[in-house]
Amino acid sequence: MSTTAPSPPEGGPAQSRPVGITEVAKHAGVSPGTVSNVLNRPERVAEATRLKVEAAIAELDYVRNSSGSSLRSGRSASVGLLVLDVTNPFFTEVARGVEDEAAASGLSVVLLNSAESRERQRGNARLLAEQRAAGAVVMPVDDDLSDLLWLSRQGTPWVALDRGDVAEAVGCSVTVDNHAGGLAAGRHLVGLGHERATFLTGPFGIEQVRRRHQGLRDAFTEAGLDPDARLRLVERPMLNAEQGERAVDAVLAGGPRQRPAAVFCANDQLALGLMKGLGQRGLRVPDDISVVGYDNVDFADLVHPGLTTVAQPKYELGRAAMRLLASELNDPGHRHEQLRFTPELLVRGSTSARRT
């Protein structure tokens, strides 16, 4: 890394002072109020004057000052997107959905990262309140919603993403049916003849993974297999690839005879890490062990074999959340709504029938 420091003379002359609505009004021979109307309710102003004003705007190169307008109106035109972890590819797809839908409503998106920390979540809530944000799409960091409820009281409504269970009583929410996902994965494995399996998970405190686990259990029960006897649980402190790789010992514990024939992972990253670890041990997927993931991240079908996984409609999740928020902001007769998507099992190469 190196540095050079030639600083050419400033390019353009710094514009003396940005022109405001009043100046435009003067230039067009109308009152400031009319200019405001042209900007916000063009239908209420006569065509002729509208054209005059628009000409003046173009000529003076006027650009609206949103601070002024939010100050006066009490609300800004931006919404917060509070994510758990910017890095996670799951969230980036969601962000794209939120972004697109917000743009369609003329709102801009402020990205805030909780980094899985309640402290940061609190700080970000405060920030949104200070900005008088119109609303927010939030993935709550845990079950303690006090900071977010405070945000609501400050007049900034939010819709919960992926945590509908905990936020149902509060406002809108968008969730994916985690139990159904686990159930689908479990039925798939049972259908392939696997009679015992391991659930590889991150922190069990996370509600989503508990539901996926329950789904898996129910699939076994429904097939007449006792989940307590047939299922094993391996818990790791985080839901990432490194932890998946490190989990390989725990998964294989008990020697070859005890080795599970199938592993359902709470997360694609865990699954991919695990597959890497298995490969290093000389075990083959799916011949020796079947692996199922969750999320369908972009890379899930780039590994060999492709990862069988439970796909979530990430982009649609983001869109739906933002749409709900927009409705809450614009529609006076809005009623809170709980939207629930159903995930879909994608069968690829990482699962196969039990060897006979």
Which residues sit at the interface with DNA, rule CB under 7 A? Answer: 17-18, 20-22, 29-37, 39-40, 44-46, 48-49, 62, 64-65, 68-69, 71-74
Instruction: Tell me how far, at minimum, the Cβ of 3 lies from a second copy, in Å.
Output: 6
Answer with the entry of DNA, a second copy, none that 81 interacts with (C-beta below 5 to 8 A by kind): a second copy
Answer with the entry of a second copy, DNA, none that 32 interacts with (C-beta below 5 to 8 A by kind): DNA
93 neighbors 318 (Cβ within 8 angstroms): yes
Instruction: Tell me how far, at minimum, the Cβ of 134 lies from DNA, in Å.
Output: 13
161's CB contacts (< 8 A; 6+ apart) are 94, 137, 138, 139, 173, 174, 175, 317, 318, 321
Angle 263-267-272 from CA coordinates, rounded to 5°: 70
Query: CA Rg, the chain, in Å?
Result: 27
Tokens of 221: 């029960």
Does the footprint of a second copy cover residue 149 (CB under 8 A)? Answer: yes
CA distance 296 to 267: 9
> Exactly one of 338, 344, 346, 348 binds a second copy (CB under 8 A); which one?
338
209 neighbors 202 (Cβ within 8 angstroms): yes
Query: Would you give the binding string for a second copy spanning residues 92-131, x where CB under 8 A is met?
Result: xx-xx--x--------xxxxxx------------xx-xxx
Answer with the entry of DNA, a second copy, none that 169 interacts with (C-beta below 5 to 8 A by kind): a second copy
Considering beta carbons, is residue 209 or 274 the nearer one to a second copy? 274
Instruction: Tell me how far, at minimum, the Cβ of 71 lies from DNA, in Å.
Output: 4
Considering beta carbons, is residue 20 or 89 the nearer one to DNA? 20
Tokens 């099992």 correspond to 345
Amino acid at 287: D
265 neighbors 274 (Cβ within 8 angstroms): yes
> Exactly one of 47, 58, 153, 237 binds a second copy (CB under 8 A); which one?
153
Tokens of 355: 């060897």
Instruction: Tell me how far, at minimum, the Cβ of 323 lies from a second copy, in Å.
Output: 12
Tokens of 48: 């002729």
Kindly identify the residues of this chain, within the stretch 264-323, that bind a second copy according to CB under 8 A: 272-273, 275-276, 279, 298-299, 301-304
